[in-house]
Structures are given as C-alpha cells and as structure tokens.
Structure 1
Amino acid sequence: MPADLLADPTIRAWARLLKAQKLLLEGVQAALSEAGLPPLEWYDVLIELKTAPDQRLRLFDLGERIVLSRSNLTRLLDRLEKEGLVTRDNCSEDRRGLYAVLTPAGLAMQKRMWPVYQTAIQNLFGRHYDARDAAQLADLLERPISAPA
C-alpha cells in the first residue's frame, strides 16, 4: 500500500486490521493442523451449533452466524456430515428448509479443538495485550459490528 495512503489513520488502521487477521488466522490454522485437528472453519460451524438452541440452526441462519466460510457452507456441511459431526434435518415449518444439527461426535470434536485454539489465541494475540488493552480493543471493534447498516 502506498505510504501516502498509510498516512491516513483510518486507512492505516484498516490495513493493519486486515494484515493482523490474516496472520492470526494462519497461525491458528497451523496450530490446529500441527495438533492433527480439522480446519478452523469446522470449529466455526461446530461452536455456532453448540451455542444454538437445541444445538441446531437453519442453514440460512448458520450462514449468517459463521465468520469464515459462508460461500462454501454446503460443501463444508457435506464434509462435517461425512465425518459424523453434524446431520441435516428437514424443517417442519418450511419443507424446502433444512437444519444443521450438532451430533455428539461434533460436540466432542469442538471440545477437542478448543484447547488448541485457545492456546493459539493466547500465543498469537493475547500475549501482546494486557486485560485493559484487550477490553479497549474489543470495545473499539464493537462499534462497526453494532452500527446500523
């Protein structure tokens, strides 16, 4: 990025945010891979289903909640279903709709992945910030998340 653009604090912050996200996600993925665990995209789906009512979400709602793999959700669910981590159930309210449902094996996988993910978060990100800095950063990043579209 040209230096004159980075003179603008907003552009510089945006560029740093994108670069940090890329490096942090790559680092987390490497940690999961080294531990013999599935990709971070799998965790993204599993944790959303774990925290959903009855551990199930309509596919549209799941697509709205996940962060990492919206465009490939159907293929991702195919892989998760093949591994027995999720199932798909018909939606009684809408015969065309489907639910993604977390299985006991999916819950077990999420629990296996979390300690590695948590350690990677601390090693790659958390060690750079004290609690006050982390809280301030979270508050700053909440602004565009919560702002009306």
Structure 2
Amino acid sequence: MAVTDPSLTGLAQGWCALSLLHGKIETRVGRALEKRHGLSMREFSLLDVLSRQHSGPGGHLQMKEVAEAVVLSQSATTRLVTRLEDRGLLRRYLCDTDRRGIYTDVTEDGLTLLDASRPTHDTALRDAFDEAAENPVLAPLVRTVQELHAPAETGS
C-alpha cells in the first residue's frame, strides 16, 4: 500500500472543490444566458472583455491577449470571434500602426446584447454562489471569492 502525502491530498481535494465550484457556476450561468439570450458563457465573456477596450494607448487587445483573458487557445478564440462576427456582434479591422495586427471591436448590436444579458449573467452568478455557499465543501471557496473584491473596511 502506497503512502499518500497529506499535503498533496489536501491540495488535490482543494483543487477538486475549486473545479466543482467552477463547473456549477459555469453550468448555471451558461444555461441562463443560452436560454434567455442565445449566448454561451464563452461568448458572453468575449463580448465583455472586448467591450472594455478603449481607444487610448494600449486600449485594444491583440488576439493573444484576448485569448488569455477568456482562457482559450488562440485558435479557439479566433473561431469564437468568427462566430460572433458572423452574427454581427463583432467586427475585425487592421491596426493602423502595425498592418500585421488585427483588432476586434464589439458592434452596436453586440453591445446591446451584452447590456441585455448582463443582468441575467449577474443574477445567475449570484444564485450559483448562494447555492454553493450551502455546501460545506464549497462554502470556504465562496467566501474567498466574495472577499477578493470586497471593499476594504475603513478604520474608525
């Protein structure tokens, strides 16, 4: 019988819990977005990331940066961009300063869909976290995620 390193077992258990939390959230939010807006989670994420670009220096993301932001390979990101471009939600164009660079912007239709779907996303996300908080294995992870961007308490 092999002896298992307790720290690795704990790490593996933590990873399993994190994976479970991610899966539950992605499934719940994805179903809500698909049902109400015809968007997948990846499509919503891509529209969201691209909608935050600006026209100032460094304001537009290269495809590699977009891929990193939506956690996809560059080829999968390109296919996703193509699908959304075909739906009229995105448009691609060449960079003015580097003809090798191709940038992507969200169209007005894409922004309209993103704005309409954001409340669905946020409600489903909140519901998924609330449900996960009831699970003793997931509750510590939920608290950690909630604390990540909680406003700092001010001292008296």
TM-score normalized with structure 2 length: 0.73
**Can you give the 5+ residue segments of structure 1 that lack an aligned partner in the other structure?**
143-149
1:113 aligns to 2:120 (yes or no): no
The structure, 1 or 2, with the larger RCO (C-alpha pairs under 8 Å, 6+ apart) is 2
Q: How does 1:1-149 map to 2 (within 5 A)?
A: 8-54=9-55, 56-67=60-71, 71-126=75-130, 128-129=132-133, 136-138=143-145
Q: Bigger shift: 11-20 or 28-37?
A: 28-37
Once the two structures are superposed, residues 16-56 of structure 1 have per-residue CA deviations (whole angstroms, 9 ceiling, x without a partner) of: 10122112211111112221421111111111111121374
**Can you give the 5+ residue segments of structure 2 that lack an aligned partner in the other structure?**
134-139, 150-156
* Whole-angstrom CA distance in 1 between matches of 2:74 and 2:144: 25
TM-score normalized with structure 1 length: 0.76
- Please report how far the alpha carbon of residue 104 of structure 1 lies from its aligned counterpart in structure 2 after TM superposition: 1.0
* Whole-angstrom CA distance in 2 between matches of 1:14 and 1:140: 19
Letter paired with 1:138: V
1:15–1:140 Cα change, 3 Å: farther
- Please report how far the alpha carbon of residue 4 of structure 1 lies from its aligned counterpart in structure 2 after TM superposition: 8.7
Aligned residue pairs total 138
More helix by share: 1
